[in-house]
Chain A
Amino acid sequence: MKTGLAHQHLLGIRGLSAKEITHILDTAESFREISEREIKKVPALRGRTIINLFFEPSTRTRTSFEIAGKRLSADVINVSSSSSSVSKGETLLDTARNLEAMAPDLIVIRHPSAGTPHQLARICRASIVNAGDGAHEHPTQALLDALTIRQHKSRIEGLRVAILGDILHSRVARSNAHLLTTLGANVAVAGPGTLAPPEFAALVQRGGGELRVEQRIEDALTGADVVMVLRIQRERQDAAFFPSLREYAVHYGLNLKRLSLAAPDAIVMHPGPMNRGIEIASDVADGARSLILDQVSNGIAVRMAVLYLLAGGTGTAATPPSSSSTAQSVPEDDTLKNARGYERVHGS
Chain B
Amino acid sequence: MRLLIVNGYVVDPTQGINGGRDVLIEDGSVASLLARGEARPEGAEVFDATGLVVAPGFIDLHVHLREPGQEYKETIASGAAAAVAGGWTSVCAMPNTDPVNDNPAVTSFIIEQSQAVGLANVFPVGAITKGSKGTELAEMGEMKRAGIVAVTDDGRPVPSPGMMRRALEYARGFDLTVMDHCEDKSLASGGVMHEGEWSLRLGLRGVPALAEESDAMRDCALAELTGARLHLAHVSTRGAIDAVRRAKERGLEITCEVAPHHFTLTDEAVEGFDTNFKMNPPLRSPEHLEAILEALRDGTIDAIATDHAPHHADEKALEFDHAPSGITGLETAVGLALDRLVHQGVIGLERLVELCSVNPARIFRLAERGTLRAGAHGDVTILDPNLQWTFDAAHSKSKSRNTPFDNWTMRGAAVATIVAGRVVFRREKKETAGENLTTA
Does any Cβ of A come within 8 Å of B17's Cβ? no
Contact, CB under 8 Å: B201 / A114: no
- Interface: A125 (CB within 8 A): no
B391 within 8 A of A: no
A135 to B321, CA, bound (A): 11
Residues from chain B with Cβ under 8 Å of A116 in the complex: 273, 319
Chain B residues 184 to 206 lying within 8 A of chain A, measured CB to CB, are 196-197, 200-204
Asked whether A134 lies within 8 Å of B197 as measured between CB atoms, the reply is: no
The residue on B at minimum CB distance from A114 is: B203
What 0/1 pattern do residues 302 to 315 of B give for CB contact below 8 A with A? Answer: 00000000000010
- Is there a chain A Cβ closer than 8 Å to B317's Cβ? yes
Which size bracket describes the interface of B in this complex? 10 to 19
Least Cβ–Cβ distance between A7 and chain B, in angstroms: 15
User: Does B318 sit at the interface, judged by CB under 8 A?
Assistant: yes
User: Which of B196, B197, B201, B320 gathers the greatest number of chain A CB atoms within 10 Å?
Assistant: B201
Residue pair A91, B321 in contact (C-beta under 8 Å): no
Q: What residues of B have a CB within 8 angstroms of the CB of A203 in the complex? A: 197, 200-201
Distance in angstroms from A90 CB to nearest chain B CB is 11
**Assembled-state Cα–Cα distance A199/B200 (Å):** 8
With A113-B319, A114-B320 as known contacts, state yes or no: A119 contacts B203, CB within 8 Å. Answer: no
Q: Which residues of A contact B201 (CB under 8 A)?
A: 14, 174, 203
Tell me if A92 and B202 are in contact (CB < 8 A): no
Residues in A neighbouring B314, C-beta threshold 8 A: 91
Q: Are A113 and B320 in contact, CB atoms less than 8 angstroms apart?
A: yes
> By the criterion CB–CB under 8 Å, are A91 and B318 in contact?
yes
Q: Name the distance in Å between B317's Cβ and chain A's nearest Cβ.
A: 5
A113 touches B321 (CB 8 A): yes
- A200's nearest neighbour on chain B, judged by CB, is B200
For residue B272, CB closer than 8 A to chain A, the reply is yes
A136→B200 CA distance, assembly (Å)? 8
Report which of B200, B317, B322 forms a contact with A113, defined as CB distance below 8 A.
B322
Known: A91-B314, A91-B318, A92-B318. A115 touches B200 (CB 8 A): no
Is A133 engaged at the interface, CB distance under 8 Å to the other chain? Answer: yes
Option from A93, A136, A202 in Cβ contact (under 8 Å) with B202: A136
Q: Are A134 and B200 in contact (CB under 8 A)?
A: no
**Contact of A114 with B321 at beta-carbon distance under 8 Å, contacts A119-B273, A135-B203, A136-B202 already known:** yes
Q: Which residues of B have CB within 8 Å of A197?
A: 200
A199/B197 contact (C-beta < 8 A), A111-B319, A115-B273 known: yes
Task: Check B203–A134 contact: CB distance below 8 A.
Answer: yes
Closest chain A residue, CB of each to CB of B190: A239
Hey, which chain B residues are within 8 Å of A119, CB to CB?
A: 273, 319-320
A300-B378 Cα distance, complex, nearest whole Å: 73
- Distance from A95 Cβ to chain B, minimum over Cβ atoms (Å): 12
CA distance A168 to B204 in the complex (A): 10
In the assembled complex, A171 has its CB within 8 A of some CB on chain B: yes
- Distance between A12 CB and nearest chain B CB, rounded to angstroms: 10
**Docked pose: A113 CA to B322 CA in angstroms:** 8
Nearest CB of chain B from residue A130's CB, rounded to whole Å: 11
- Cβ proximity bits B321-343 to A, threshold 8 Å, 1 near / 0 not: 11000000000000000000000
A113 to B202, CA, bound (A): 11
Of all chain B residues, the one with the shortest Cβ separation from A170 is B203
In the complex, A12→B57 CA distance in Å?
Answer: 49
Residue A118 is within 8 A (CB to CB) of chain B in the complex: yes
B interface footprint on A71-115 (CB within 8 Å = 1, 0 otherwise): 000000000000000000001110000000000000000011111
Interface string of A178-213 (1 = CB under 8 A from B): 000000000000000000010110110000000000
CB of A279 closer than 8 Å to a CB of B? no
A134-B196 in contact given A91-B317, A113-B321, A119-B273 (Cβ < 8 Å): no
> A91 — which chain B residues lie within 8 A by C-beta?
314, 317-318
Interface residues of A in 144-201 (CB under 8 A from B): 168, 171, 174, 197, 199-200
With a 10 A CB-CB cut-off, give which of A14, A92, A115 has the most chain B CB atoms. A115
CB contacts (< 8 Å) of B317 on chain A: these are: 91, 93
Question: Any chain B CB within 8 A of the CB of A137?
Answer: yes
Give chain A nearest CB distance to B414 CB in angstroms. 32
With A91-B314, A91-B317, A111-B319 in contact, is A118–B204 under 8 Å at CB? no
Quick one: closest A residue to B275, CB to CB?
Answer: A119
CA distance A113 to B190 in the complex (A): 13
User: Within the complex, what minimum Cβ distance (angstroms) separates B264 from chain A?
Assistant: 22
Give bound CA distance, A71 to B38, whole Å. Answer: 89
Most buried by A among B203, B204, B272: B203
Between-chain CB contacts (< 8 Å), 7 pairs: A114-B273, A115-B273, A116-B273, A119-B273, A134-B203, A136-B204, A203-B201
- Other 17 A-B pairs with CB < 8 A, given A113-B319, A113-B321, A174-B201: A91-B317, A92-B318, A113-B320, A114-B202, A114-B203, A114-B273, A114-B320, A115-B202, A115-B204, A115-B273, A115-B320, A118-B273, A134-B204, A135-B203, A137-B203, A199-B200, A203-B201
Query: Which chain A residues have a beta carbon within 8 Å of chain B's beta carbons?
Result: 14, 91-93, 111-116, 118-119, 133-137, 168, 171, 174, 197, 199-200, 202-203
